[in-house]
């Protein structure tokens, strides 16, 4: 029988902010969304203060900061880099790793139990990641992914577990499920929880005892599989690698309303350039580009406007120049003066792997010469941390960029912001 483990970083964003700030140990920390709007992550201390996920920060700012709390703008470059380091450690220690999110990964532990007890292996994982990266993780192990998720929840909720829970036996599984609300089961959302509770199913064990065929008939095949997983039958496949993306979106709310066309043009050009960079990371080409703009849906007593345009390219491309040109063409079609725009975005669609698109017999089109080589050079410079190359259309003055007033330094991804020891 296979054994899966779920490794989940504890309070990941807040933990990343603490890595280079030992003075923040024990202090409440929250991380804010775009434009420093809402709370998207909380440390245990902030959670204990009653700060809620998704709460607008201005509502709690005064009381929170008077109590010693500190807020950070989202530093996704830092979080992504620390996540990569955690995943690299897991790749070194586990037979197989499936990255599930920025702070979670499933492990497939075939053969591990033949050399070391699983709980001991889980403690080794925790100790190694804490020592090499500085992040604390919880580890849950079980015969299925759903049970591993449940085990991880228990590992993080009850300190007495030491951060590791092994649900290798049916007795342990039933004991944990009997005290776990059905809402904590992976894939059981709020609406489904209400429907199940109306049927008298209040715990994970109650759900595990529900006949799978009845669950499929009354709800869905997804719930049937969840029940089978709770009973130790693996139904969720192991993903050898992330599925290829079918679309890429890059959009942002502006730090200030945009009313000038030239400013909007700079913004969408930058969004297009970033989307093209992501496209190359996926080793894909796109043939359809969309751009959208909109005013704020919440601004009272102001005229509302939103629109989008789609531009089909003659050939699939990953060249930033072609994608930016298409976005500008689309923007010209939908721009209307006299509005205060709050958000814009770019979407790439209709993906093709390199070399698979077949032009028409009479099409006289070809890829730009040296396009791939030029894009590789651009990406190499932009990922080096020493400088950045961009198209002139992106502009130099970017007052429209989202507000990040409490942004921490790029401790690990920018040479000038490396922490120094004195």
| Distance separating alpha carbons of residues 120 and 141, to the nearest angstrom | 12
Query: Does residue 236 belong to any structural domain of this protein?
Result: no
Residue 315, pLDDT score: 83
Burial class from Cβ neighbours inside 10 Å (0-12, 13-18, 19+) for residue 370 reads exposed
Query: Does residue 209 belong to any structural domain of this protein?
Result: no
Residue 363, pLDDT score: 57
Residue 240, pLDDT score: 62
Query: Does residue 110 belong to any structural domain of this protein?
Result: yes
Query: Does residue 385 belong to any structural domain of this protein?
Result: yes
Residue ending a domain, choose from 115, 142, 169: 142
Q: What is the pTM of this model?
A: 0.76
Tokens coding 87: 């995943």
| Rounded mean pLDDT for each run of 10 residues along the chain, 422 residues in total | 90 91 89 84 89 87 89 88 93 90 90 84 94 94 94 91 92 93 90 90 91 89 92 84 76 84 91 92 90 86 90 88 93 93 91 67 66 87 80 74 75 76 58
Query: Does residue 266 belong to any structural domain of this protein?
Result: yes
Domain of 263, CATH number, reads 3.30.1490.100
Query: Does residue 240 belong to any structural domain of this protein?
Result: no
Burial class from Cβ neighbours inside 10 Å (0-12, 13-18, 19+) for residue 62 reads exposed
Q: How many domains does the chain have?
A: 2
Shared domain for 371 and 254, answered yes or no, is: yes
The residue range of the domain holding 23 is 9-142
What b-and-e string marks burial along 117-152, b requiring 16 or more CB atoms within 10 Å of the CB? ebbebbbebbeebeeebebebbbbbbbbbbbbbbbb
Residue 394, pLDDT score: 82
Any idea which residue has 């040109």 for tokens? 325
Query: Does residue 361 belong to any structural domain of this protein?
Result: yes
Residue 351, pLDDT score: 85
Query: Does residue 203 belong to any structural domain of this protein?
Result: no
Are the C-beta atoms of residues 310 and 326 closer than 8 Å to each other? no
Tokens coding 16: 């990343």
Domain of 77, CATH number, reads 3.40.1170.60
Shared domain for 136 and 252, answered yes or no, is: no
| Distance separating alpha carbons of residues 29 and 45, to the nearest angstrom | 7
Residue ending a domain, choose from 142, 170, 201: 142
Residue 242, pLDDT score: 62
Shared domain for 255 and 382, answered yes or no, is: yes
Q: What does residue 320 show for φ and ψ, rounded to 5 degrees? A: -55, -40
Shared domain for 137 and 256, answered yes or no, is: no
Residue 277, pLDDT score: 92
Residue ending a domain, choose from 118, 142, 166: 142
């Amino acid at each position: 029988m296979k054994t899966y483990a779920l490794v989940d970083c504890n309070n990941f964003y807040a933990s990343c902010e603490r890595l280079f700030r030992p003075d923040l140990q024990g202090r409440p920390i929250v991380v804010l969304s775009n434009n420093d709007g809402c709370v998207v992550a909380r440390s245990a201390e902030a959670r204990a203060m009653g700060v809620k996920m998704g709460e607008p920060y201005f509502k709690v700012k005064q009381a929170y900061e008077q109590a010693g709390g500190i807020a950070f703008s989202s530093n996704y470059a830092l979080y992504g880099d620390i996540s990569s380091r955690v995943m690299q450690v897991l790749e070194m220690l586990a037979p197989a790793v499936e990255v599930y999110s920025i702070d979670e990964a499933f492990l497939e532990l075939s053969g591990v139990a033949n050399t070391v007890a699983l709980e001991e292996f889980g403690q080794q994982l925790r100790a190694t990641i804490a020592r090499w990266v500085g992040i604390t993780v919880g580890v849950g192990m079980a015969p299925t992914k759903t049970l591993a998720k449940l085990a991880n929840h228990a590992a993080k909720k009850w300190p007495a577990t030491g951060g590791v829970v092994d649900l290798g036996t049916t007795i342990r599984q039933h004991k944990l499920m009997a005290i776990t609300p059905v809402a904590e089961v992976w894939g059981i959302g709020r609406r489904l929880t209400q429907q199940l509770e109306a049927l008298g199913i209040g715990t994970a064990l109650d759900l595990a005892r529900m006949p799978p065929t009845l669950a499929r008939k009354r709800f869905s095949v997804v719930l049937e599989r969840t029940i089978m997983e709770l009973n130790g039958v693996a139904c969720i496949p192991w993903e050898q690698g992330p599925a290829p993306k079918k679309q890429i979106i890059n959009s942002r709310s502006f730090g200030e309303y945009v009313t000038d066309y030239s400013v909007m043009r700079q913004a969408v050009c930058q969004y297009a350039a970033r989307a093209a960079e992501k496209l190359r990371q996926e080793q894909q080409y796109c043939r359809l580009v969309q751009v959208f703009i909109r005013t704020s849906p919440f601004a009272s007593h102001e005229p509302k406007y939103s629109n989008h345009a789609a531009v089909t390219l003659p050939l699939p491309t990953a060249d930033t120049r072609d994608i930016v040109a298409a976005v500008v063409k689309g923007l010209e079609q939908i721009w209307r003066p006299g509005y205060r725009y709050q958000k814009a975005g770019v979407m790439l669609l209709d993906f093709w792997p390199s070399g698979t698109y077949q032009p028409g017999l009479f099409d006289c089109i070809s890829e730009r010469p040296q396009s791939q080589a030029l894009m590789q050079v651009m990406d190499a410079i932009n990922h080096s941390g020493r400088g950045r190359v961009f198209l002139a259309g992106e502009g130099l003055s970017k007052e429209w960029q989202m507000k990040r007033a409490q942004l921490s330094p790029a401790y690990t991804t920018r040479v000038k912001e490396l922490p120094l020891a004195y």
